[in-house]
Amino acid sequence: MALGQDTAGDFALKVQNYGRMTGVSVALHAIPDAFLVLHTGVGCKYKGANQLMLHDRQRLALHGEGYTEISDIVFVKGSASRIGPYLRSWHAKRRPAYMAVVASTFIEMAGEDIAGEVQKAAATVPCPVDYIRTLGFEGDLYEGYAAVLARVLARAPFRERRPRKGRASVAGFFFHRHEPDVLADVGELDRLLAGLGLKAGPCLLGGEPFARLLDAADSESLVCLPYLSSVPVPVGPEADRYGGRRLVHAGLPVGLSGTAAWLRRVGEGLGVKASVIEAAARRGRGEAGPAVKTLREAARRRLKGRRSVIFADTPLAAGLASFAAEAGLPPILVGLRDESLGGREAFARLLKESGTEPPPDLSVLRNPPLADARRRIRELARDGCLGVLFGSNYEAAQPARAGARIPVVETGFPCVGWHAADPSPSLGFAGAACLAERILHAL
Protein backbone atom coordinates (compact mmCIF):
# COMPACT_ATOMS: atom_id res chain seq x y z
CA MET A 1 0.00 0.00 0.00
CA ALA A 2 1.51 3.34 -1.07
CA LEU A 3 1.62 6.14 1.47
CA GLY A 4 0.05 9.43 0.51
CA GLN A 5 2.29 12.44 0.08
CA ASP A 6 1.18 14.16 3.29
CA THR A 7 1.67 10.98 5.31
CA ALA A 8 5.12 10.37 3.83
CA GLY A 9 6.08 13.93 4.73
CA ASP A 10 5.54 13.08 8.38
CA PHE A 11 8.55 10.77 8.18
CA ALA A 12 10.84 13.27 6.44
CA LEU A 13 13.75 14.97 8.14
CA LYS A 14 12.40 18.34 9.31
CA VAL A 15 14.14 21.70 9.58
CA GLN A 16 14.00 21.28 13.36
CA ASN A 17 14.45 17.61 14.08
CA TYR A 18 15.78 17.71 17.65
CA GLY A 19 13.83 16.04 20.44
CA ARG A 20 13.28 16.77 24.09
CA MET A 21 16.64 15.33 25.11
CA THR A 22 18.55 17.95 23.12
CA GLY A 23 16.41 20.64 24.76
CA VAL A 24 17.27 19.32 28.21
CA SER A 25 20.93 19.30 27.20
CA VAL A 26 20.74 22.93 26.05
CA ALA A 27 19.02 23.98 29.28
CA LEU A 28 21.54 22.20 31.52
CA HIS A 29 24.34 23.73 29.45
CA ALA A 30 22.87 27.16 30.24
CA ILE A 31 23.44 26.56 33.96
CA PRO A 32 27.23 26.55 34.40
CA ASP A 33 27.24 24.50 37.62
CA ALA A 34 24.67 21.91 36.49
CA PHE A 35 25.33 18.38 35.23
CA LEU A 36 23.26 16.08 33.00
CA VAL A 37 23.38 12.29 33.40
CA LEU A 38 22.32 10.44 30.25
CA HIS A 39 21.06 6.98 31.20
CA THR A 40 21.88 5.35 27.88
CA GLY A 41 24.66 4.09 25.71
CA VAL A 42 26.64 6.49 23.56
CA GLY A 43 24.51 6.12 20.44
CA CYS A 44 24.03 8.25 17.36
CA LYS A 45 20.68 9.44 18.65
CA TYR A 46 22.33 11.43 21.42
CA LYS A 47 24.96 13.03 19.28
CA GLY A 48 22.32 15.65 18.54
CA ALA A 49 23.28 17.19 21.87
CA ASN A 50 26.82 17.47 20.57
CA GLN A 51 25.63 20.27 18.30
CA LEU A 52 26.50 22.36 21.34
CA MET A 53 30.16 21.53 20.76
CA LEU A 54 30.05 23.49 17.48
CA HIS A 55 27.35 25.93 18.49
CA ASP A 56 29.08 27.24 21.64
CA ARG A 57 32.77 28.03 21.34
CA GLN A 58 32.90 29.74 24.72
CA ARG A 59 32.01 26.80 26.97
CA LEU A 60 32.57 23.12 26.18
CA ALA A 61 29.40 21.06 26.47
CA LEU A 62 31.27 17.84 27.27
CA HIS A 63 32.14 19.16 30.74
CA GLY A 64 28.47 19.24 31.70
CA GLU A 65 27.17 15.78 30.87
CA GLY A 66 28.07 12.11 31.14
CA TYR A 67 26.67 8.66 30.32
CA THR A 68 25.84 5.55 32.31
CA GLU A 69 27.25 3.52 29.40
CA ILE A 70 24.67 0.79 28.99
CA SER A 71 25.59 -2.34 27.04
CA ASP A 72 23.17 -4.88 25.58
CA ILE A 73 23.78 -7.28 28.46
CA VAL A 74 23.20 -4.58 31.06
CA PHE A 75 19.96 -3.61 29.34
CA VAL A 76 18.70 -7.21 29.28
CA LYS A 77 19.52 -7.77 32.95
CA GLY A 78 18.09 -4.40 34.04
CA SER A 79 19.87 -1.09 33.88
CA ALA A 80 18.14 1.08 36.50
CA SER A 81 20.54 -0.01 39.25
CA ARG A 82 23.36 1.84 37.44
CA ILE A 83 21.77 5.24 38.00
CA GLY A 84 22.74 5.60 41.67
CA PRO A 85 26.44 4.73 41.32
CA TYR A 86 26.87 6.90 38.23
CA LEU A 87 24.98 9.81 39.81
CA ARG A 88 27.27 9.67 42.85
CA SER A 89 30.39 9.20 40.74
CA TRP A 90 29.65 12.16 38.47
CA HIS A 91 28.83 14.33 41.46
CA ALA A 92 32.13 13.44 43.10
CA LYS A 93 34.00 14.36 39.90
CA ARG A 94 32.19 17.59 38.97
CA ARG A 95 30.60 18.82 42.24
CA PRO A 96 27.54 20.32 40.48
CA ALA A 97 24.93 22.42 42.25
CA TYR A 98 22.12 20.79 40.28
CA MET A 99 21.75 17.51 38.36
CA ALA A 100 19.20 16.09 35.95
CA VAL A 101 18.77 12.56 34.63
CA VAL A 102 17.27 11.55 31.29
CA ALA A 103 16.81 8.07 29.81
CA SER A 104 16.68 6.85 26.23
CA THR A 105 13.42 5.77 24.64
CA PHE A 106 14.18 2.04 24.53
CA ILE A 107 15.01 2.08 28.23
CA GLU A 108 11.81 3.95 29.05
CA MET A 109 9.86 1.34 27.10
CA ALA A 110 11.44 -1.55 28.99
CA GLY A 111 9.18 -0.86 31.96
CA GLU A 112 11.78 -0.26 34.66
CA ASP A 113 10.99 2.28 37.37
CA ILE A 114 13.51 4.89 36.26
CA ALA A 115 11.73 7.71 38.10
CA GLY A 116 11.74 5.75 41.36
CA GLU A 117 15.40 4.85 40.98
CA VAL A 118 16.35 8.49 40.37
CA GLN A 119 14.34 9.58 43.40
CA LYS A 120 16.09 6.99 45.56
CA ALA A 121 19.54 7.90 44.21
CA ALA A 122 18.88 11.64 44.61
CA ALA A 123 18.79 11.18 48.37
CA THR A 124 22.45 10.08 48.26
CA VAL A 125 23.94 13.21 46.66
CA PRO A 126 24.12 16.67 48.27
CA CYS A 127 22.41 18.64 45.49
CA PRO A 128 18.94 18.77 43.91
CA VAL A 129 18.31 16.08 41.26
CA ASP A 130 15.44 15.92 38.78
CA TYR A 131 14.37 13.14 36.43
CA ILE A 132 13.01 14.47 33.12
CA ARG A 133 11.26 12.16 30.67
CA THR A 134 12.49 12.53 27.11
CA LEU A 135 10.79 9.88 24.99
CA GLY A 136 12.28 10.22 21.52
CA PHE A 137 8.93 10.15 19.72
CA GLU A 138 7.31 12.81 21.92
CA GLY A 139 8.01 16.54 21.93
CA ASP A 140 10.71 18.75 20.49
CA LEU A 141 13.79 20.69 21.59
CA TYR A 142 11.74 23.51 23.13
CA GLU A 143 9.58 21.17 25.23
CA GLY A 144 12.71 19.65 26.74
CA TYR A 145 14.08 23.11 27.47
CA ALA A 146 10.76 24.19 29.02
CA ALA A 147 10.70 21.08 31.20
CA VAL A 148 13.96 22.17 32.83
CA LEU A 149 12.64 25.71 33.22
CA ALA A 150 9.59 24.32 35.00
CA ARG A 151 11.77 22.32 37.43
CA VAL A 152 13.96 25.33 38.23
CA LEU A 153 10.92 27.54 38.80
CA ALA A 154 9.40 24.86 41.03
CA ARG A 155 12.55 24.88 43.19
CA ALA A 156 12.67 28.66 43.57
CA PRO A 157 11.38 29.53 47.09
CA PHE A 158 8.65 31.98 46.06
CA ARG A 159 6.48 31.19 49.07
CA GLU A 160 9.32 31.43 51.58
CA ARG A 161 10.80 34.77 50.49
CA ARG A 162 9.45 38.27 50.68
CA PRO A 163 9.52 39.89 47.22
CA ARG A 164 11.54 43.06 46.71
CA LYS A 165 9.49 45.97 45.47
CA GLY A 166 10.28 47.05 41.93
CA ARG A 167 12.27 43.92 41.12
CA ALA A 168 11.33 41.84 38.05
CA SER A 169 12.77 38.64 36.59
CA VAL A 170 12.43 37.32 33.06
CA ALA A 171 11.36 33.67 32.91
CA GLY A 172 11.47 31.65 29.72
CA PHE A 173 14.48 33.08 27.92
CA PHE A 174 16.08 30.64 25.47
CA PHE A 175 19.74 30.71 26.52
CA HIS A 176 21.60 28.46 24.09
CA ARG A 177 25.27 29.47 24.31
CA HIS A 178 27.70 31.40 26.49
CA GLU A 179 28.81 33.72 23.69
CA PRO A 180 28.57 37.51 23.30
CA ASP A 181 25.37 37.41 21.23
CA VAL A 182 23.22 35.53 23.75
CA LEU A 183 24.85 37.19 26.76
CA ALA A 184 24.12 40.56 25.15
CA ASP A 185 20.46 39.56 24.75
CA VAL A 186 20.26 38.92 28.50
CA GLY A 187 21.78 42.35 29.04
CA GLU A 188 19.23 43.92 26.70
CA LEU A 189 16.35 42.40 28.66
CA ASP A 190 17.83 43.88 31.84
CA ARG A 191 18.22 47.22 30.09
CA LEU A 192 14.61 47.25 28.91
CA LEU A 193 13.39 46.54 32.44
CA ALA A 194 15.62 49.31 33.76
CA GLY A 195 14.06 51.69 31.23
CA LEU A 196 10.70 50.94 32.88
CA GLY A 197 12.12 51.83 36.27
CA LEU A 198 12.42 48.19 37.36
CA LYS A 199 15.42 46.44 38.83
CA ALA A 200 16.21 43.25 36.91
CA GLY A 201 16.42 40.04 38.90
CA PRO A 202 17.94 36.79 37.61
CA CYS A 203 16.94 35.76 34.09
CA LEU A 204 15.73 32.18 33.75
CA LEU A 205 17.71 30.93 32.04
CA GLY A 206 20.44 33.52 31.70
CA GLY A 207 23.74 31.68 31.97
CA GLU A 208 23.93 32.14 35.74
CA PRO A 209 24.72 29.55 38.45
CA PHE A 210 21.89 27.51 39.93
CA ALA A 211 21.74 29.32 43.29
CA ARG A 212 21.50 32.66 41.52
CA LEU A 213 18.54 31.38 39.48
CA LEU A 214 16.68 30.56 42.68
CA ASP A 215 17.05 34.22 43.68
CA ALA A 216 14.29 34.95 41.17
CA ALA A 217 12.10 34.33 44.21
CA ASP A 218 13.18 37.79 45.43
CA SER A 219 11.38 39.42 42.48
CA GLU A 220 7.84 40.68 42.86
CA SER A 221 7.11 40.19 39.14
CA LEU A 222 7.85 37.63 36.45
CA VAL A 223 7.95 38.53 32.76
CA CYS A 224 7.13 35.25 31.01
CA LEU A 225 8.52 34.79 27.49
CA PRO A 226 7.02 32.33 24.97
CA TYR A 227 9.54 29.55 25.67
CA LEU A 228 7.51 28.88 28.81
CA SER A 229 4.44 28.19 26.69
CA SER A 230 4.60 24.42 27.06
CA VAL A 231 4.80 24.66 30.86
CA PRO A 232 1.30 24.03 32.29
CA VAL A 233 -0.38 27.07 33.85
CA PRO A 234 -0.88 26.43 37.60
CA VAL A 235 -4.50 25.83 38.63
CA GLY A 236 -6.29 25.05 41.86
CA PRO A 237 -4.04 24.62 44.90
CA GLU A 238 -0.96 25.05 42.67
CA ALA A 239 -2.06 28.48 41.47
CA ASP A 240 -0.12 30.15 44.29
CA ARG A 241 3.17 28.39 43.57
CA TYR A 242 4.67 31.80 42.73
CA GLY A 243 3.63 33.25 46.08
CA GLY A 244 1.37 35.94 44.68
CA ARG A 245 3.94 37.32 42.23
CA ARG A 246 2.57 39.33 39.36
CA LEU A 247 2.98 37.56 36.01
CA VAL A 248 2.90 39.21 32.60
CA HIS A 249 3.22 37.28 29.32
CA ALA A 250 4.97 38.85 26.35
CA GLY A 251 6.64 37.90 23.08
CA LEU A 252 10.23 38.74 22.19
CA PRO A 253 11.33 42.38 21.91
CA VAL A 254 12.73 42.36 18.37
CA GLY A 255 12.96 45.41 16.07
CA LEU A 256 11.86 48.96 16.75
CA SER A 257 8.08 48.53 16.79
CA GLY A 258 8.34 45.08 18.37
CA THR A 259 10.48 46.34 21.24
CA ALA A 260 8.26 49.39 21.78
CA ALA A 261 5.20 47.10 21.87
CA TRP A 262 7.03 44.81 24.34
CA LEU A 263 7.73 47.77 26.64
CA ARG A 264 4.07 48.75 26.57
CA ARG A 265 2.82 45.23 27.21
CA VAL A 266 5.23 44.59 30.08
CA GLY A 267 4.97 48.09 31.52
CA GLU A 268 1.17 48.14 31.49
CA GLY A 269 1.07 44.61 32.94
CA LEU A 270 3.31 45.65 35.82
CA GLY A 271 1.63 48.97 36.54
CA VAL A 272 4.32 51.29 35.13
CA LYS A 273 3.22 54.83 34.31
CA ALA A 274 2.43 55.44 30.65
CA SER A 275 4.79 58.43 30.57
CA VAL A 276 7.69 56.23 31.71
CA ILE A 277 6.87 53.58 29.10
CA GLU A 278 6.65 56.08 26.26
CA ALA A 279 9.86 57.81 27.34
CA ALA A 280 11.72 54.47 27.26
CA ALA A 281 10.30 53.64 23.82
CA ARG A 282 11.13 57.10 22.46
CA ARG A 283 14.67 56.95 23.81
CA GLY A 284 15.28 53.49 22.32
CA ARG A 285 13.91 54.47 18.93
CA GLY A 286 16.17 57.50 18.93
CA GLU A 287 19.23 55.31 19.55
CA ALA A 288 18.51 52.53 17.05
CA GLY A 289 16.26 54.23 14.50
CA PRO A 290 19.08 55.69 12.35
CA ALA A 291 20.63 52.25 11.75
CA VAL A 292 17.30 50.75 10.64
CA LYS A 293 16.63 53.79 8.44
CA THR A 294 20.04 53.38 6.79
CA LEU A 295 19.29 49.72 6.11
CA ARG A 296 15.87 50.55 4.68
CA GLU A 297 17.36 53.07 2.25
CA ALA A 298 20.19 50.70 1.28
CA ALA A 299 17.71 47.86 0.72
CA ARG A 300 15.59 50.09 -1.51
CA ARG A 301 18.61 50.99 -3.67
CA ARG A 302 20.44 47.66 -3.71
CA LEU A 303 17.74 45.02 -3.37
CA LYS A 304 15.03 46.76 -5.42
CA GLY A 305 11.96 45.24 -3.82
CA ARG A 306 13.37 41.80 -3.05
CA ARG A 307 11.96 40.16 0.08
CA SER A 308 13.20 38.30 3.13
CA VAL A 309 12.93 34.64 4.08
CA ILE A 310 12.90 33.70 7.77
CA PHE A 311 13.50 30.31 9.40
CA ALA A 312 13.40 30.47 13.20
CA ASP A 313 11.42 29.20 16.17
CA THR A 314 7.95 30.75 16.31
CA PRO A 315 8.60 33.63 18.79
CA LEU A 316 11.85 34.64 17.09
CA ALA A 317 10.31 34.27 13.63
CA ALA A 318 7.53 36.71 14.58
CA GLY A 319 10.06 39.19 15.91
CA LEU A 320 12.29 38.94 12.85
CA ALA A 321 9.28 39.31 10.54
CA SER A 322 8.38 42.55 12.31
CA PHE A 323 11.97 43.82 12.03
CA ALA A 324 12.25 42.83 8.36
CA ALA A 325 9.02 44.65 7.50
CA GLU A 326 10.17 47.92 9.06
CA ALA A 327 13.57 47.54 7.37
CA GLY A 328 11.93 47.44 3.94
CA LEU A 329 12.35 43.68 3.55
CA PRO A 330 8.85 42.25 4.17
CA PRO A 331 8.97 38.46 4.43
CA ILE A 332 7.72 36.29 1.60
CA LEU A 333 8.35 32.94 3.33
CA VAL A 334 8.54 32.00 7.03
CA GLY A 335 9.48 28.55 8.30
CA LEU A 336 8.68 27.86 11.95
CA ARG A 337 11.47 25.70 13.38
CA ASP A 338 9.53 24.04 16.20
CA GLU A 339 6.57 21.79 16.95
CA SER A 340 5.47 23.07 20.36
CA LEU A 341 5.42 26.88 20.40
CA GLY A 342 2.01 27.47 18.89
CA GLY A 343 2.45 27.20 15.13
CA ARG A 344 0.85 29.60 12.65
CA GLU A 345 -1.72 30.87 15.16
CA ALA A 346 0.95 31.88 17.68
CA PHE A 347 3.06 33.42 14.91
CA ALA A 348 0.13 35.55 13.74
CA ARG A 349 -0.74 36.59 17.30
CA LEU A 350 2.83 37.55 18.20
CA LEU A 351 3.24 39.46 14.94
CA LYS A 352 0.04 41.37 15.63
CA GLU A 353 1.19 42.16 19.18
CA SER A 354 4.34 43.70 17.71
CA GLY A 355 2.20 46.10 15.69
CA THR A 356 2.97 44.52 12.31
CA GLU A 357 0.54 43.27 9.67
CA PRO A 358 1.77 40.27 7.63
CA PRO A 359 2.03 40.70 3.85
CA PRO A 360 -1.04 39.20 2.13
CA ASP A 361 1.10 36.79 0.11
CA LEU A 362 3.20 35.58 3.05
CA SER A 363 3.63 31.79 3.17
CA VAL A 364 4.09 30.32 6.68
CA LEU A 365 5.32 26.73 7.02
CA ARG A 366 5.25 24.84 10.30
CA ASN A 367 8.45 22.81 10.69
CA PRO A 368 8.51 21.71 7.05
CA PRO A 369 10.66 18.88 5.70
CA LEU A 370 14.24 20.05 5.23
CA ALA A 371 14.13 19.09 1.54
CA ASP A 372 11.06 21.31 1.00
CA ALA A 373 12.72 24.23 2.78
CA ARG A 374 15.84 23.87 0.66
CA ARG A 375 13.78 23.75 -2.51
CA ARG A 376 11.72 26.84 -1.62
CA ILE A 377 14.80 28.88 -0.65
CA ARG A 378 16.67 27.95 -3.83
CA GLU A 379 13.66 28.71 -6.02
CA LEU A 380 13.27 32.19 -4.50
CA ALA A 381 17.01 32.80 -4.87
CA ARG A 382 17.06 31.72 -8.52
CA ASP A 383 13.94 33.77 -9.31
CA GLY A 384 15.55 36.92 -7.91
CA CYS A 385 12.90 37.33 -5.19
CA LEU A 386 15.17 36.72 -2.19
CA GLY A 387 16.90 39.72 -0.67
CA VAL A 388 17.89 38.54 2.84
CA LEU A 389 17.72 35.18 4.60
CA PHE A 390 17.43 34.70 8.36
CA GLY A 391 17.99 31.15 9.53
CA SER A 392 20.07 28.49 11.22
CA ASN A 393 23.19 27.09 9.58
CA TYR A 394 20.98 24.57 7.73
CA GLU A 395 19.04 27.24 5.85
CA ALA A 396 21.92 29.71 5.65
CA ALA A 397 23.83 27.44 3.26
CA GLN A 398 21.07 27.22 0.65
CA PRO A 399 21.42 30.49 -1.32
CA ALA A 400 25.10 29.79 -2.02
CA ARG A 401 24.21 26.27 -3.18
CA ALA A 402 21.75 27.88 -5.59
CA GLY A 403 24.56 30.06 -6.92
CA ALA A 404 23.10 33.26 -5.43
CA ARG A 405 24.95 35.82 -3.34
CA ILE A 406 22.32 36.66 -0.72
CA PRO A 407 22.92 38.47 2.61
CA VAL A 408 22.45 35.90 5.38
CA VAL A 409 21.82 36.47 9.09
CA GLU A 410 22.58 33.17 10.80
CA THR A 411 20.62 32.96 14.01
CA GLY A 412 18.92 30.56 16.42
CA PHE A 413 19.95 26.98 17.18
CA PRO A 414 22.13 25.55 15.78
CA CYS A 415 24.28 28.47 14.66
CA VAL A 416 27.76 27.22 13.83
CA GLY A 417 28.90 29.59 11.08
CA TRP A 418 28.56 32.88 12.94
CA HIS A 419 30.19 33.64 16.28
CA ALA A 420 30.30 37.19 17.61
CA ALA A 421 33.53 38.58 19.03
CA ASP A 422 31.72 41.52 20.66
CA PRO A 423 28.28 41.95 22.24
CA SER A 424 25.84 41.44 19.35
CA PRO A 425 22.25 41.19 20.56
CA SER A 426 19.15 40.43 18.52
CA LEU A 427 16.74 41.67 21.18
CA GLY A 428 15.80 45.19 22.12
CA PHE A 429 16.59 48.43 20.37
CA ALA A 430 20.30 47.61 20.40
CA GLY A 431 19.42 44.30 18.74
CA ALA A 432 17.60 46.14 15.94
CA ALA A 433 20.71 48.24 15.30
CA CYS A 434 22.93 45.15 15.39
CA LEU A 435 20.72 43.20 12.95
CA ALA A 436 20.71 46.18 10.62
CA GLU A 437 24.49 46.39 10.79
CA ARG A 438 24.91 42.68 10.02
CA ILE A 439 22.74 42.98 6.91
CA LEU A 440 24.45 46.18 5.76
CA HIS A 441 27.85 44.49 6.01
CA ALA A 442 26.58 41.60 3.91
CA LEU A 443 25.02 43.74 1.15
- pLDDT in the model for residue 3: 41
DSSP string, 335-363: EE--SSS-HHHHHHHHHHHTT-PPPTT-E
Q: Where are the beta strands (DSSP E) in 5-83?
A: 34-39, 65-67
Q: In 3-state terms, what secondary structure has residue 221?
A: strand
Question: What is the pLDDT, as a whole number, of residue 320?
Answer: 98
Considering the domain 274-442 in this protein, what is its CATH number? 3.40.50.1980
Q: Which of 136, 211, 148 is nearest to 174 (CA)?
A: 148
Confidence of residue 16 (pLDDT cuts 50, 70, 90): confident
Segment among 6-20, 128-142, 347-361, 368-382 with least mean pLDDT: 6-20
Query: Which CATH number is associated with domain 154-253?
Result: 3.40.50.1980
Q: What would the pLDDT profile of 88-118 be if each residue is shown by its tens digit?
A: 999 999 999 999 999 888 888 878 888 999 9
Report whether pLDDT(2) > 60: no
Dihedral sign for Cα atoms in the order 5, 7, 10, 13 = negative
What percent of the chain stands above pLDDT 70?
92
Alpha carbon distance 227, 288 (integer Å): 26
Where in the chain are the domains? Answer: 20-139, 154-253, 274-442
Contact between 53 and 24 (Cβ < 8 Å): no
Question: Quick check: 78 pLDDT over 80?
Answer: no
**Alpha-carbon 199 to chain mean position:** 23
CA pair distance 355, 442, nearest whole angstrom:
27
Residue 63, pLDDT > 90, answer no
d(CA 236, CA 216): 23
d(CA 379, CA 419): 28
Q: Cα 126 to chain center, whole Å?
A: 30
Instruction: Enter the DSSP assignment of 81.
Output: G
Handedness of CA 169, 173, 176, 182 (dihedral sign): negative
Q: 311 forms bridges with which residues in the sheet? A: 335
- 103 pairs with which residues across the strands? 39
**Higher-confidence residue: 46 or 178?**
178
Q: At what angle do helices 343-353 and 314-326 cross, to 10 degrees?
A: 40
Question: If DSSP codes are grouped into helix, strand and coil, which group holds residue 391?
Answer: strand
* Cβ contact 247:219 at 8 Å: no
Spacing of C-alpha 229 from chain mean position: 11
Identify the pLDDT of residue 1.
Answer: 32
Give the integer Cα–Cα distance in Å for 15 and 193.
34
Given the candidates 3.30.2350.10, 3.40.50.1980, 3.40.830.10, 3.20.20.100, the CATH classification of the domain at 20-139 is 3.40.50.1980
Per-residue pLDDT of 375-423, as tens digits, reads 999 999 888 889 999 999 889 888 888 777 888 999 999 898 999 999 9
> What are 261-310's pLDDT values in tens digits?
999 999 999 999 999 999 999 999 999 999 999 999 999 999 999 999 99
pLDDT per residue as tens digits for the range 201-229: 999 999 999 999 999 999 999 999 999 87
| Identical topology for domains 20-139 and 274-442 | yes
Q: How far apart are CA 229 and CA 224, in angstroms?
A: 9
Residue 91 to residues 55, 59, 80, 126, 372, Cα–Cα distance (Å): 26, 19, 18, 9, 45
